Structure 1
Amino acid sequence: MPIVAMAQYVNPGLIPYLSPLSCYLALCAGVIAHNHNHCPTFKSRRLNGWMGLWLAHFYGYPTFAWVPTHNLNHHKFVNKPGDATITWRYTNKHNAVVAFTYFFISSYWQSDPIKQYIRKARQSNPALFRQIVTQYCSWAGLHLALLGLAIAWHGVAQGFKVWGFAFLIPALFALWTIMFFNYIQHVHADPWSEHDHSRSFDGKLINFLLFNNGLHSAHHETPGAHWSTLPEVHAKLAPDINPELNQSSFFGWCFQVYVLAPLFPQFGTKQIGRAGFEPPTGEAPRLDSADVDALESGINAART
């Protein structure tokens, strides 16, 4: 991605051709950050820290945020009450408006676990807090430097354009798309079920492009597994998953749900089993968007 971005700096005329590629590569950086967060790339903690810093510059946000919002929250509650990323916060309807605006709602609610995680680290784990501050400073500092370089090279207006298409728009695209993926992989699934908690896409193209990120059921049931092993895990789980939650084509499914369903409702999704707000006991579980015990577990794990 640095080569693609710098090519746009050297020749802004390449922006229409290379900016879409930058968006895809930024999304890849986000997926790699997710995978790196679950299964670190290196044995060395220092190298893993540098990897996180590097990815943050392209993904669009410091990668430490995966811990409180994803590991300690989403994987704990999986679209049930307490999950900051629930798909049914204001409605359980599934349509393009709800799906495409999910990013803004989810971003807002994820801010609370992040703030609590930072607060807890500041109080009880100075080393972790320094890592968080370092990520923020490095991420913001490099982007300011890249913006300054673009302005110095091309002037204010053209500089903002170059930086925006090379870095800002790809980063926003990556953040939005990863949250969109989370939405479609859980909307109308049954979070109370052993295997029907997620929607998977087993098409070869999407999984080749995004490091098996389509195999979401397998990921939730074996979150520490390396991404390359997920096809084997998915093959074992697939017979036990509702067929409606095993889709072959990501792009075909999106076309069916967001283009055809408004005209032909039979192409839309329907709730499988129980929704997140319908616990098997009939009693609403305690809402706890940033579980204190989980946060402390994560902070203690960061010490070792």
Structure 2
Amino acid sequence: MLGLRNDADLRPVIWVFKYYLISYLAWTYEDYFRHSYLLSFLTVLVISYYSFAGATITHNTMHSKVFYGKWANRIWQVLLSLTYGHPVSSFVPGHNLSHHRYTQLLQDPMRTSKLRFRWNFLNGLLFQPIVAGDVFKADVRYINMQSKIQTARAQEFYTNCMREFSIVGLTTVLLLVLDPRKFFVYVWFPHFFAQWGIVSMNMLQHDGCDLVPSLVREEAVENWNGSRNFVGPLINYLTFNNGYHTIHHLHPTMHWSRLPEEHERVVKPKIHPSLDERCMARYIVRAFIYPGKRLDYLGNEVKVPAEPEPEDADWTQDYAPDGLKPQDYQVDMSWKGILRALPLIPLKLLAPLYSPVHKIA
């Protein structure tokens, strides 16, 4: 059906179509409901959900391709990039290669130990803003590294990244020029919410869970209590089973439609019962609002070390071929380096295959 590798992916395709349809209707026919604050709020809320759903679909897509055809997958990735305003190929370094392999370790830029607020509400609210910069820097290093590897796979990944970046960037500029107010209400805010939501899920699913030390990771230790699961039917319907996190970490390429069944069969008999949360909303209230205590899955207070959080370890070296040193693909992320890169952005938008990254290193 439509070249889908799994018929269950028809629903994500419909969800992405609904995102574009509702966004178009809100932008075009705003005058019909703009006088009603309640209707305007509900419209933004609905668009924000579908944008966030696009982020969860992106997560599933980057673990398991949706279509048989190569070009169908490329087009699909562009469409997904536009649903939440971020090149989806960056999910590979930012999530698949770092978070999955080094969960909660120094090589994981999304580890929850970076959050040190005594008020746990702030840990949940500010998790995404605090880790976003480190994730972005690692993404840029990995993408730059791929641009220097002369293999078909590396060049295809780099080209996909640049294609998605260019289209998202150009679309953003066009919509901003067309109507700045509508852009921020119907595009920017839903995209921000989607990116905040998908990254913040990491705080919900890993904080206070077991950590597998790096010394034993190469032995493929099964970490049954390393993830928190949200097993209620509503949240998993809305997020395409993103609540089933333990089985996903054990088998990252398993299709999302199989996760509930495999969770019941494989994970539930071995996981600690407290790591199966029925309702995400109730957990959020309990963990971040009232009583708002930062507890591990055994009910003990999560201890925050007195010493500062160590800097991230550079995981990208693990994927570099022989002869390619870290200094060969480092990118200057200082304000001077960013200023030097600004004149190259229009060229990158017009010529996605042009590779100027080395010029700002």
TM-score (normalised: structure 2): 0.71
Structure 2 SS opposite 1:188:
coil
> What is residue 227 of structure 1 aligned with on the other side?
256
> Residue 51 of structure 1: which of 76, 83, 105 is its match?
76
How many positions carry a matched residue from both structures?
A: 278
Instruction: Please state how far the C-alpha of 1:290 moved relative to its aligned partner.
Output: 2.4
Contact 2:104 2:211 in 1 (8 A): yes
Structure 2 unaligned runs (5+)? Answer: 1-18, 213-221, 323-361
AA of the residue aligned to 2:282: G
> Residue 136 of structure 1: which of 165, 176, 182 is its match?
165
Contact 1:27 1:177 in 2 (8 A): yes
> What is residue 160 of structure 1 aligned with on the other side?
180
Alignment of 1:1-304 (within 5 A): 1-12=19-30, 13=34, 15-91=40-116, 95-124=120-149, 125-149=154-178, 159-192=179-212, 194-236=223-265, 237-262=267-292, 265=293, 268-270=294-296, 272=298, 288-294=313-319
Instruction: Please state how far the C-alpha of 1:295 moved relative to its aligned partner.
Output: 5.6
CA distance in 2 between partners of 1:161 and 1:92 (Å):
34
1:79-125 per-position Cα deviation (integer Å, ceiling 9, x unaligned): 12211110002538671111111111110110222111121122114
Instruction: Please state how far the C-alpha of 1:16 moved relative to its aligned partner.
Output: 2.7
Instruction: Please state how far the C-alpha of 1:182 moved relative to its aligned partner.
Output: 1.1
Go from structure 1 to structure 2 and tell me whether the alpha carbon gap of 1:9 and 1:213 turns closer, same or farther (over 3 Å shift).
same
AA of the residue aligned to 1:107: A
Instruction: Please state how far the C-alpha of 1:229 moved relative to its aligned partner.
Output: 0.2
CA distance in 2 between partners of 1:240 and 1:277 (Å):
28
CA distance in 2 between partners of 1:221 and 1:5 (Å):
36
CA distance in 1 between partners of 2:250 and 2:96 (Å):
13
Aligned identity (percent) is 24
Structure 2 SS opposite 1:74:
coil
Instruction: Please state how far the C-alpha of 1:271 moved relative to its aligned partner.
Output: 5.8
Contact 1:84 1:289 in 2 (8 A): no
Instruction: Please state how far the C-alpha of 1:131 moved relative to its aligned partner.
Output: 2.2
Contact 1:82 1:286 in 2 (8 A): no
**Greater helix content:** 1
Say what the alpha-carbon RMSD is for the aligned residues. 2.6
> What is residue 335 of structure 2 aligned with on the other side?
none
1:171-211 per-position Cα deviation (integer Å, ceiling 9, x unaligned): 00000001111111000000227200000010111011111
